[in-house]
């Protein structure tokens, strides 16, 4: 008669064998604590590094997608030889007069400048616009003349299309809605401003390449320039600046007043910290002096 193996006995032997192997491994770990510790640290650090790299890659991908999505449907137009693509500096070859006249003839364009970074919305997103600064032959030689597809264009404005600021600006331009104008504060001025913030607080808000409606980082020479926020009204919009800055730029500002058609006493109409550091404090002064910003079109 054949012998039948006891199934319970077989299971017992397998369990005992596994238990013995686990015990042997555990005892070896205890005998070589240094090697075991190093091995566990290596595994832990390797796993942490992989998780960190995966998280970093995911964050970079998300930020890239968000940036690209924000730029969808927008085309930056600048001179083809401009530094850094004209994103931060108005450099490069100006737009030829003939091309500038052609742009001005487009019905939807209110004004055009020879050299300015602008954001354009083409009627056909597949159309590639030539960059400002190309020759007339290059412009007219493009199929279909892409200039005809421009439906909207803007020079930098403080509310809709403020220039980006990297953080190295000398002054900050800020809108004061109660005065329908702008205040300017320079880096050297440490006091409070009518915006309710000091220069350092403002700089922390608009730096890093951000576009913040109502704020713009600028240089001192830009204040005297004919290109000083022309789409917003230019120099007549300035209602407040520190007294020291006003005196430092007085000769240049007096020349700029002539360009903007302002009276010689316009600088006396600009309030400073001796008048007040809030909108409520400077508004009566502006009304008394008859500041032109109060009668200009609303900024908002």
Confidence class of residue 289 from pLDDT cuts 50, 70 and 90? very high
pLDDT at 139 over 50: no
For residue 136, pLDDT over 90 is answered with no
Backbone angles phi, psi at 7, to 5 degrees: -65, -35
Categorize the per-residue pLDDT at 169 as very low, low, confident or very high, splitting at 50, 70 and 90: confident
Mean of the per-residue pLDDT values for the chain? Answer: 75
Roughly what angle, to the nearest 10 degrees, separates helices 7-31 and 33-70? Answer: 90
Predicted confidence band at 93 (pLDDT cuts at 50, 70, 90)? low
* Strand-strand pairing, 75-77 and 238-240: unpaired
- Rounded to an integer, the average pLDDT of 202-211 is 76
Alpha helices in 141-249 (DSSP H): 199-206, 220-223, 243-248
80-100 as b/e, with b when 16 or more CB fall inside 10 Å? eebeeebebebebeebbeebe
Whole-angstrom Cα distance, residue 232 to residue 173?
12
Residue 126 has pLDDT above 50, yes or no: no
Tens digits of residue pLDDT in 228-284: 888 888 899 999 999 999 999 999 999 999 889 998 789 999 999 999 999 899 999
pLDDT at 120: 46
Q: Is the pLDDT of residue 142 over 50?
A: no
Contact between 228 and 256 (Cβ < 8 Å):
yes
pLDDT at 125 over 60: no
DSSP state of 86: G
Please give the average per-residue pLDDT across 142-155, as a whole number.
47
pLDDT band at 41 (very low <50, low <70, confident <90, very high): confident
Looking at per-residue confidence, does 121 or 194 come out higher? 194
Percentage above 70 pLDDT, the chain: 65
Q: Alpha helix (H) ranges present in 199-275? A: 199-206, 220-223, 243-248, 250-259
**Per-residue pLDDT at 177 exceeds 80:** yes
pLDDT of residue 35: 79
Which residues is 174 bridged to in the sheet?
183, 215
């Amino acid at each position: 008669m054949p012998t039948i193996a006891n199934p319970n006995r077989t299971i017992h032997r397998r369990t005992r064998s596994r238990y013995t192997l686990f015990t042997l491994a555990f005892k070896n770990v205890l005998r070589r604590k240094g090697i075991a510790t190093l091995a566990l640290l290596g595994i832990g650090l390797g796993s942490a590094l992989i998780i960190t790299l995966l998280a970093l890659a995911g964050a970079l991908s998300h930020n890239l997608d968000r940036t690209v999505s924000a730029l969808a449907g927008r085309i930056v137009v600048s001179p083809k030889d401009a530094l850094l693509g004209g994103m931060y500096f108005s450099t490069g070859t100006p737009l030829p007069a003939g091309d500038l006249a052609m742009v001005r003839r487009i019905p939807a364009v209110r004004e055009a400048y020879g050299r300015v970074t602008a954001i354009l919305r083409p009627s056909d997103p597949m159309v590639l616009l030539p960059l400002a600064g190309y020759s007339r032959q290059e412009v007219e030689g493009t199929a279909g003349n892409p200039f005809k597809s421009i439906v909207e264009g803007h020079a930098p404005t403080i509310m809709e299309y403020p220039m980006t600021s990297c953080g190295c600006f000398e002054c900050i331009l800020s809108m004061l809605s109660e005065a329908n104008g702008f205040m300017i504060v320079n880096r050297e001025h440490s006091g409070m401003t009518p915006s309710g913030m000091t220069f350092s607080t403002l700089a922390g808000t608009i730096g890093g390449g951000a576009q913040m409606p109502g704020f713009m980082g600028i240089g001192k020479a830009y204040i005297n320039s004919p290109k000083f926020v022309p789409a917003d009204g230019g120099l007549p919009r300035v209602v407040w600046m520190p007294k020291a800055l006003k005196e430092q730029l007085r000769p240049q500002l007096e020349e700029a007043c002539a360009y903007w058609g302002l009276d010689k006493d316009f600088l006396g109409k600009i309030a400073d910290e001796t008048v007040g550091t809030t909108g409520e404090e400077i508004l009566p002064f502006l009304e008394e002096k008859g500041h032109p910003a109060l009668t200009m079109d609303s900024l908002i």
